[in-house]
Chains A and B, each alone.
Chain A
Amino acid sequence: MIDRNGKYSAISLITHGLRKSEWPRAWRAHDLRKSYDVVVIGGGVHGLATAYYLAKNHGITNVAVLDKGYLGGGGSGRNTAILRSNYLTPEGVRFYDRSLELYRHLAADLNFNVMFSRRGHLTLAHNDGSLRTMRWRAEVNKLQGIDSQVIDPAQVKELVPHLDTSDETRYPILGALYHPPGGIIRHDAVVWGYARAADRLGVHLHQKTEVTGIDVVNERVTGVRTNRGAISAPIVVNCTAGWSTLISDMAGVRTPVQTFPLQAAVTEPVRPFLHAVVVSGTLHVYVSQTDRGELVFGASVDPFQSYSMRGSLEFVEGLAAHVLELMPGLSQMRLLRQWAGLCDMTPDYSPIMGTTPVEGFYLDVGWGTYGFKAGPVSGESMAQAIATRSTPEIISAFGLDRFAEGELVGEKGAAAVGH
């Protein structure tokens, strides 16, 4: 038997397999303490990473992560797991690239196989306008030292032979932005890996614990109320993505966030044939193939604000039509499932991170359709912001006050469809 403090390894897997006993739980359940040094609301990748780096990098272990459901039940267990750093603004590129760097070493760091596969990421251009934005992006990327270049249709065909690169389609492919270090990861493993590692450092993970109120006295946060009782805490972090407006409202902090559902779908598994992530902004669709062989499809957000996580027939109809426009050879594939998650959209497609007018109440929200890849860097920098009581340089462009100041970080051109 492997005790909880034991490491996962090939040897432990073999001995455990031979004994055929139950694996021990990867993290513990606890009674709620009356007080914590830090309360993190939301048990997705952002909340768990924040707690993990608080404990690991700063020795702050009297930390609770509260989730109203189960860990990874929000966007972190529903996303399409695309990682990339070829954004449009220098601030954005530096930020997401730091996250990719952390992701590269995450399996070893967490002792959990997160299956990061750097298979390359292609954003297709179907008109001159998008080709122009891609050239701009490629130059910004190169200046930040990121592998990113515009390629022509023949090179696209070489990388993804199943794409229709002829000029007989409605939206012919004119080129693509190619980002070799981009790829996909096993999203659940990232969540579970952070949870297990945080648990081992002494963080309390509380599932089925819903925050129902936040106590603020004289513009200072003093604690939270939950369905399991009240907790006092000098620091409360909002990591609830699609639900974040409800939590911010409890603290009396207004944010420019609007919640939109985002849907995705997956096919039956087939033999591996697609070795890159392919995104088409014009056709509002993207596709990748998992290690199990399923094709994962996604698109842009649903057309109206909602907290509903129901999928729709309109979505799969539109999706199928657009996928077949790109890869006519897939017409016989069968969809297995579709689902939806909630996205906290901001006006500039960039996050909102750091302090608020309420002292001790921090935001790590506005993750929209692109926040999974940002989990590690966000956890690292939020932990640093809390521990050092100052805003790290890498997130200084993402403060809440930028909206009142009119200093937006325009990422729409790089984040509206390609998440």
Chain B
Amino acid sequence: MIELPCPWCGPRGVSEFRYVGEGATRPDPATATPQEWRAYLYLHENARGWVRENWYHTAGCRRFFKLERETESNETRAAT
């Protein structure tokens, strides 16, 4: 079982969490072109290696948090 380090609850099984994913900076809706807006919606880094990403602890503290994960081995560590 893959364990995720929740900063509030400590290490817990991955099935307690919901994956939120890569963080992306939202363009200003008032000035963004449709193309910029769609790039924000659809494009992904989809990196292989260590990434910093967002998760939600559904079956625990119900808080959003960031963690670091190696996307091929699924090794995880607290985000620095």
Contact = CB atoms under 8 A, between A and B. Distances in A.
Contact of B1 (A304, A308, A314): A314
Interface residues of A, number: 22
Interface string B1-32: 11000000000001100110110000000000
A169 B18 CA distance: 28
Interface stretch (A107-115, A217-225, A254-262): A254-262
B18 A306 contact: no
A313 B2 CA distance: 11
Contacts of B1: 312-314
A403 B46 contact: no
Contacts, number: 51
A70 interface: no
Contacts of A303: 18-19
Q: Chain B contact residues: over half helix, strand or loop, or mixed?
A: mixed
Nearest to B42: A256
Nearest to A257: B46
A347 B43 CA distance: 9
A303 B43 CA distance: 19
Given A303-B19, A305-B19, A406-B34, A347 B74 contact: no
A246 interface: yes
A256 B41 CA distance: 9
Contacts of A305: 19, 21-22, 46, 71
Nearest to B74: A308
B21 A347 contact: no
B73 A308 contact: yes
Contacts of A406: 34, 38
A29 interface: no
A257 B48 CA distance: 13
Contact of B71 (A306, A314, A404): A306
B38 A403 contact: yes
A44 to B, nearest CB: 18
Contact of B19 (A245, A255, A304, A312): A304
Given A305-B19, A308-B72, A308-B73, A245 B42 contact: no
B35 interface: yes
9 contacts: A256-B42, A304-B19, A305-B46, A306-B72, A307-B48, A310-B74, A314-B1, A403-B38, A404-B38
Given A256-B43, A347-B42, 10 more contacts: A245-B44, A254-B43, A304-B14, A305-B71, A306-B71, A307-B48, A307-B72, A308-B74, A310-B74, A312-B1
